[in-house]
């Protein structure tokens, strides 16, 4: 029984060894986080010093008496578009004319800017005719023609003249592309 009273020697707890690679990664991570925080701070500081865009536009549009002979009260005229004159069209997905390569199509969302004397009931009554005209025009175009800036401008003019040929009251003054995607 004397043996029972003797405590069995407990093994000494092994010394915790830290991996030097883990320490290096932690230090690198802390340094990287500090660098990102510093860069964000500098960026926000730079953004706070930058003048407001609306203020710059007001300064640009305001007349300078010494630079121009205009009176201080005169303002430059800007085009005012009334919401009643904007007529949205439903989205178009149209096959383009076949050229070299794979079959292509265009997705188009547009808004027509009508003249002041245009009447909404006529537009609603002729909406199918307007859509058919636009689809017919787009079916004759190739992707190469529409990818150029001049091609999109020419397309606007062609659509305007085609629609204006059958409108009785008012006319289309401009066409605004909301989205224009060629696949």
The answer on 108 and 175 residing in a single domain is yes
The answer on 124 and 42 residing in a single domain is no
Phi–psi pair at 118, nearest 5 degrees: -70, 145
| Selected residue with higher pLDDT from 125 and 84 | 125
Angle at 141 between CA 110 and CA 153, to 5 degrees: 50
What HEC string does 68-135 produce? CCCCCCCCCCCCCCCHHHEEECCCEEEECCCCCCCCCEEEEEEEEEECCCCCHHHHHHHHHHHHHHHH
Is 90 inside a domain boundary? yes
The structure tokens listed for 91 are: 């989205």
| Selected residue with higher pLDDT from 77 and 130 | 130
pLDDT of the residue at 110? 92
Beta bridge partners of 181: 107
Contact 95, 109 (CB under 8 A): no
Is 9 inside a domain boundary? no
Q: What is the C-alpha separation between 62 and 56, in angstroms, rounded?
A: 10
* Count of positions (residues) in the chain: 183
pLDDT tens sequence across 19-34: 999 999 999 999 999 9
Domain count, the chain: 2
pLDDT of the residue at 124? 84
The answer on 167 and 112 residing in a single domain is yes
The answer on 172 and 96 residing in a single domain is yes
Mean pLDDT computed over 90-119: 87
The answer on 87 and 174 residing in a single domain is yes
pLDDT band at 109 (very low <50, low <70, confident <90, very high): very high
SS3 181: strand
Give me the domain span that covers residue 154. 83-182
Q: What is the C-alpha separation between 100 and 97, in angstroms, rounded?
A: 10
- pLDDT at residue 158 greater than cutoff 80: yes
Is 169 inside a domain boundary? yes
pLDDT band at 13 (very low <50, low <70, confident <90, very high): low
> Which residues are within 8 A (CB) of 63 and not within 5 positions of it... i.e. 6 or more apart?
70, 71, 72, 74, 75, 76
pLDDT of the residue at 32? 97
Nearest CA to 155 out of 166, 142, 146 is that of 146
């Amino acid at each position: 029984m004397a043996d029972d009273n003797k405590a069995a020697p407990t093994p000494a707890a092994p010394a915790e060894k830290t991996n030097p690679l883990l320490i290096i990664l932690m230090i690198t991570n802390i340094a990287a986080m500090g660098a990102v925080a510093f860069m964000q701070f500098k960026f926000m500081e730079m953004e706070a010093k930058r003048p407001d865009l609306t203020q710059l536009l007001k300064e640009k549009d305001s007349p300078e008496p010494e630079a121009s002979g205009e009176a201080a009260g005169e303002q430059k005229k800007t085009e005012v578009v009334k919401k009643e004159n904007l007529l949205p069209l439903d989205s178009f997905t149209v096959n383009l004319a076949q050229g070299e390569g794979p079959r292509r199509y265009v997705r188009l969302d547009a808004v027509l800017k009508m003249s002041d004397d245009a009447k909404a009931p006529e537009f609603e009554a002729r909406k199918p005719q307007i859509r058919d005209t636009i689809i017919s025009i787009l079916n004759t175009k190739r992707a190469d023609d529409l990818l150029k800036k001049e091609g999109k401008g020419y397309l606007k003019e062609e659509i305007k003249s085609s629609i204006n040929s059958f409108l009785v009251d008012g006319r289309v003054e401009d066409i605004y592309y909301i989205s224009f995607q060629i696949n």
